[in-house]
Structure 1
Amino acid sequence: MNTRFLEWLVFAVFGGVMLYSLHHILAGSFPANTTPAHGAGDWATWVGAIGTVGTLIGTIWLATAATRREKQIAHDSAVLAAAGIQIRLLDTLHALVAIAEELGRPIEDDGKPQPYVTWAHRIRSSITWQIADLTPLIHAKGQPAPALAVAREWLLSCADELQSRPFNQDYDDFEYWEAAEFNQSQADIVHGAAEMIREAKRACDRLLEHVPAP
């Protein structure tokens, strides 16, 4: 059961008991099977009942206090992680958009090899976060941590594929077509990773919306 709902339920019961007690005390009439309203036994009974409910409220409050603290700590950790990675994600997006655009360009028959190693190096350099950096963001709204973890693996795999390509300078018709298809497939991967990173950045932005400016 949701702890917040349980707390409100207990408070509602406690409030009901208090109002019921106050009504009968002021009216001077308890149910027929009780002693007169102002007797010491009545007061002791109602004080005991109120004390029991109060004890229950205190117990639930203490039991849920640790959960509330853990949630607050997790939220604060996520905010700190989002603040630390937000600008880096923007730099990554700028780099990936440029690389994807270059990969998608037609191959020119100018005798120059495709810069696969350079592209691979630039992709690896654009990954500015490690898996450990994402741990505080695991439970953040928008799930930026899984998105960034998957994007990271896609980009590393793409960089490996690019670096493994041969340095062909003179393409025949089939090689030209095959190289163009390969380049476009890698451009699509980079685009897909960039979109996941963009969504993760939006989630980080939302985490930081209510952080006061310095």
Structure 2
Amino acid sequence: MVVLGTKCYVEGDARERSLDSLDSLVANDLAELDVEWTVGVRGDEFVSVTVEGDDETVAQNLLRERWGEVTDHFDDGETYVGTLESWNNEEWTLDAGIDIPVSRDDLGLGPGDPKQIRDRFGVVQHTPLPFVYDADGDHELAEETKDQLYEWTRAEGDGGRLNVNSSTRGEVRATINRAGHAQDIITVERLGLLEQSVVCTEGTDPPGLLASVGEYLPAELKAVVP
């Protein structure tokens, strides 16, 4: 079994749609392999995939590479993935199966307190974020995480972003189309199972897009303005 570095925290029909979506993604990834799999959700809301078959090891490694893995073993200086669980004036807390506090200085994302930094970079709750584990508790965001967040604010060739949680990529696309804004976006990037980043076209106003589609999405939405 591989515990993926992404969560399923919605309920009812939304949960069924989310897990169906994940099952389709897993099917695409493992289509050429001789395996069968079952998708489930742990008590802490992390998604698990149980794989069996001749290509089991290869399949598990593919899933780890794509989604990251939640583990119960941490080595000092190694990179793992956690999801943004909470934040306050002093730190962000990531959920990696255990709480991983990342202080303001160790975020490495410039000035402001952790709440202001989250708003500036548009990081919605539950977004998967790679981090570097420190045995003494001085955990840091991984360089790849900082590079990704800074890239969002540079907007070279696009007009900013709208980040969304609690929705699959297909649901976000459908909502934008229904709201009449298909021409205002370039693509929808998948951050996690239920966390998406809408890349806006140059000239589109991300806060305006947020206001327009927000009424259709029962989600947290954050605009990233270059």
**What's the TM-score bracket when you normalise by the shorter of the two chains?**
under 0.3
Q: Please state which structure has a larger fraction of its residues in helix.
A: 1
TM-score (norm. length: structure 1) = 0.22
Higher normalized contact order (CA 8 Å, seq sep 6+, divided by chain length): 1
Greater fraction of residues in strand: 2
Using the size of structure 2 for normalisation, the TM-score is 0.21
